[in-house]
Amino acid sequence: MGDTMTQKVITVIGGTGSQGSGLVRAILDDPRGEFRARVVTRNPTSEKALALADAGAAVVQADLDDVASLRAAFEGAHGAFCVTNFWEHFSPDKEMAQAKNLAAAARAAGVSHVIWSTLEDTRRWVPLEDDRMPTLMERFKVPHFDAKGEADAFFVESGVPTTLLVTTFYWDNLLHFGMEPQRGEDGGLVFALPMGEAKLSGIAAVDIGKCAFGIFQGATILSGRPWASQVST
């Protein structure tokens, strides 16, 4: 294990969640001990948070709606993994506001490298006037995609070196998101997606965190120069 005095701190937003916990576990399991995990959660006394603390992670409290708490969570950190959860509130505007807070806090704290867990802005391929898909909330085609994609600009414009980690379909959705196989009339299990001949890429949610760990390990930081790279899982 590395010396705690020389280990680089990685602040992990949503460290008890699907993506963040994968990153935290990868940091804790790394025999080289290059990094230390700082888990950010609204409830540091939750069962998941306490388990990560017992495993060796630091756990701090912060709220994505409170820039000051985020800056404190980022203070002294080398890197930050940033993610938002649309499904907590179903509001793309709130999600973008939270992303803006994360970018501002990372800049204020002087973080050297941010990974922003994002999705494609589908309006790049299906403009609002395109009626192949309905326009929702007057501004979006796929709100939980488009808001994250639009929020990429907050990180790029902040000047903080940022990797835009474009995530993909969770295989976990087949168990936990109402997409599990259903019983057909003959009693057999049927899994159906109306995709024609199109292909669907996917990844286990925990492996997104492991990908982020690899990015932190291999990132080249261009000190004092804004840059952004894009990686897809």
Confidence of residue 151 (pLDDT cuts 50, 70, 90): very high
Q: Is the pLDDT of residue 68 over 60?
A: yes
Distance CA 107, CA 123 (A): 28
pLDDT at residue 226 in the model: 45
**DSSP assigned state of 136:** B
Q: Is the pLDDT of residue 102 over 70?
A: yes
The pTM of this model reads 0.91
Q: Which of 21, 56, 23, 55 is nearest to 41 (CA)?
A: 21
pLDDT at residue 222 in the model: 42
Distance CA 104, CA 71 (A): 8
Q: Say which residues have a Cβ less than 8 Å from residue 211's Cβ, sequence separation at least 6.
A: 165, 203, 231, 233
Domain topology for 8-232: Rossmann fold (3.40.50)
What SS3 class is residue 96? helix
Which residue(s) pair with 136 in the sheet?
140
Question: Alpha helices of the chain — where are they, by DSSP H?
Answer: 18-29, 47-55, 67-74, 92-109, 143-158, 173-176, 205-218
Q: Which of 68, 70, 79 is nearest to 34 (CA)?
A: 79
Q: Please state the domain extents for the chain.
A: 8-232
Q: Is the pLDDT of residue 56 over 90?
A: yes
Q: Which of 85, 9, 94, 96 is nearest to 42 (CA)?
A: 85
pLDDT digits (tens, 9 = 90+) for 24-38: 999 999 999 999 999
Residue 229, both tokens: 């790279």
pLDDT at residue 87 in the model: 93
Q: Is the dihedral of CA 43, 38, 75, 225 positive or negative?
A: negative
